[in-house]
């Protein structure tokens, strides 16, 4: 059975922390591929700093080039509007019914999983992998994962990743303050941001 990891998000911008999660999941669970899915407009985030969808998609493509097991799809961008994970999961499972899907998320997102639209659909069709974050201790995350596994009759597992304090929010802040982002994003992404002068001021564009 094919095993595919799903990594969705705004990727505003994509950074090395995202790639570390993908790499750890691929190695630990023997995944065949990692599918990156940039969303058009997440229902739970402030869009005032959201870069246009094409630029975010371009940066994902640059970040994963050279990784033969990483692919990207613009299916949520092509749809437009609010991007709901459960709808995308339904589509992927219908297209590949024999594939075992693993949905990658941060432990902070795991804590809010019950608030996701149709969370039960995601839990029934994916093995959820929660990457450890500094904000929550191991025991706290394990308890949440165990509770969700029972509540949704699904598979919620922990994914160990190297400690990191990198976030898209901090990267955008660093750029506005004129600080270096070297090492926080792949070199090709850093060059793209600098060439196009992205995030130098608040973005207020669709997507």
**Mind listing the pLDDT tens digit for each residue in 147-177?**
999 999 999 999 988 887 899 999 999 999 9
Give the count of beta carbons closer than 10 Å to the beta carbon of residue 196.
Answer: 13
The structure's pTM equals 0.92
> In this predicted model, what pLDDT tens digit does every residue of 37-88 receive, in sequence order?
999 988 766 667 799 999 999 999 999 999 999 999 999 999 999 999 999 9
Q: Is the CB of residue 14 less than 8 Å from the CB of residue 7?
A: no
pLDDT score of 206: 40
In angstroms, the CA 45 to CA 42 distance is: 6
Would you say residue 33 has pLDDT above 80? yes
Domains and CATH numbers, the chain: 3-195 (3.40.50.620)
pLDDT tens per residue across span 177-204:
999 999 999 999 999 999 999 998 654 4
CA–CA separation, 101 vs 14, rounded Å? 22
């Amino acid at each position: 059975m094919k095993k595919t990891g799903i990594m969705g998000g705004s990727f505003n911008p994509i950074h090395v922390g995202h790639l570390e999660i993908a790499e750890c999941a691929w190695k630990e669970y023997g995944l065949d591929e990692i599918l990156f899915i940039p969303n058009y407009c997440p229902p739970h985030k402030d869009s005032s700093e959201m870069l246009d969808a094409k630029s975010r998609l371009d940066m994902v493509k640059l970040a994963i080039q050279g990784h033969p097991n990483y692919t990207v799809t613009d299916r949520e961008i092509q749809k437009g509007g609010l991007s709901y994970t459960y709808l995308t999961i339904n589509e992927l499972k219908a297209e590949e019914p024999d594939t075992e899907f693993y949905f990658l998320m941060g432990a902070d997102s795991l804590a809010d999983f019950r608030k996701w639209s149709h969370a039960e659909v995601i839990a029934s069709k994916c093995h959820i992998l929660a990457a450890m974050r500094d904000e929550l201790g191991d025991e706290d995350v394990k308890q949440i994962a165990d509770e969700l596994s029972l509540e949704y009759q699904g598979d919620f597992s922990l994914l160990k990743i190297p400690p990191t304090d990198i976030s898209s929010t901090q990267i955008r802040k660093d750029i506005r303050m004129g600080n270096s982002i070297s090492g926080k994003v792949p070199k090709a992404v850093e060059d793209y941001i600098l060439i196009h002068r992205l995030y130098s001021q608040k973005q207020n564009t669709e997507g």
